[in-house]
Amino acid sequence: MHALEKNATFAPMSLINPDVLSFYKELSRNNTREWFEPQKIRFKALEIEIKQYVEEIKNILNEADEIERAKIFRIYRDVRFSKNKTPFKTHFGISFHRKKPHLRGGYYLHIAPGESFIASGFWNPEKEDLYRIRKEMEVDAAGLRDVIDRLELKSNWGVLQGDEVKTAPKGFSKEHVDIDLIRKKQYLFIKKFSDKDVLAPNFQEQIIIHFKAIRPFFDYMTSVLTTDLNGVSIL
């Protein structure tokens, strides 16, 4: 049992309706407007349930965080520049936005048959933010290493992930001792869940436990992104 589980108390929570997974399985096999149109009422009912589910997560997170908004992404795909012309997404995607500029990082929930996961961190950091993080790593990466190596974080989330450049970003040495952190283009943690996990009575609780466990990482990155290299606030 993780430390957060020992101390946390959770009110009775919502469950994921099994029809969410059934619906998306069927949609994957029939991804056409002709199939979706008569299923639209069914989808809207499931979407209302998910909105309530997400709102409960947001409210509990807000007891110790500031979530500005939780966004459920639209089911309609933008196919204008894609070779894949199927019109609908085959998953629920939900992002939880922390209140900027004084809080940084974000949470994400992805529900799809056989492909559900949660994620946290910096998926597509702005150019200036990415450069600031890399400069911090260049000067001293010990703070970040201390955070990501903590047992509680690793037991919940595993290792830091994210796309990287092949050698070194422009202006940085490929021989730097912390090049493994400097070359990253994303700073992410990802946790996968099976369909059985998603439908379990404690799934919502597990989401919250994992999201709370990532806070030391967010706190560290916030301290970096809201100060200059001398530690002076830029807010």
Note the pLDDT of residue 5.
44
- The 10s digit of each residue's pLDDT in 81-130 is 899 999 999 999 999 999 999 999 999 999 999 999 999 999 999 999 99
Residue 232 lies in a domain: no
d(CA 90, CA 93): 9
Note the pLDDT of residue 192.
98
Residue 36 lies in a domain: yes
CATH of the domain at 70: 3.30.930
Residue 186 lies in a domain: yes
Residue 18 lies in a domain: yes
Note the pLDDT of residue 13.
74
> Are the CB atoms for 111 and 16 separated by under 8 Å?
yes
Low-confidence stretches of the chain (pLDDT beneath 70) = 1-12
The amino acid present at 196, given as its one-letter code, is: K
d(CA 210, CA 195): 18
Domain containing 27 equals: 3-225
Report pTM. 0.93
Residue 30 lies in a domain: yes
Note the pLDDT of residue 10.
53
How many angstroms separate the Cα of 167 from the Cα of each of 124, 170, 175? Answer: 19, 9, 9
The two tokens of residue 91 are 């998953």
Which residues share a beta bridge with 233?
227
d(CA 118, CA 197): 12
Please report which helix (H) or strand (E) contains residue 189, including its range: strand 187-193
Radius of gyration of the chain (CA): 20
Note the pLDDT of residue 4.
45
> Are the CB atoms for 129 and 224 separated by under 8 Å?
no
In 3D space, the residue among 211, 185, 217 whose CA is nearest the CA of residue 117 turns out to be 211
Residue 233 lies in a domain: no
Looking up tokens 């994210």 gives 162
Residue 234 lies in a domain: no
d(CA 198, CA 155): 19
The two tokens of residue 211 are 């999201």
CA 135, chain centre distance (Å): 24
Note the pLDDT of residue 60.
95
Task: Report the number of secondary-structure helices (H) and strands (E) in the chain.
Answer: 10, 5
Residue 230 lies in a domain: no
CA 160, chain centre distance (Å): 13
Q: How many domains does the chain have?
A: 1
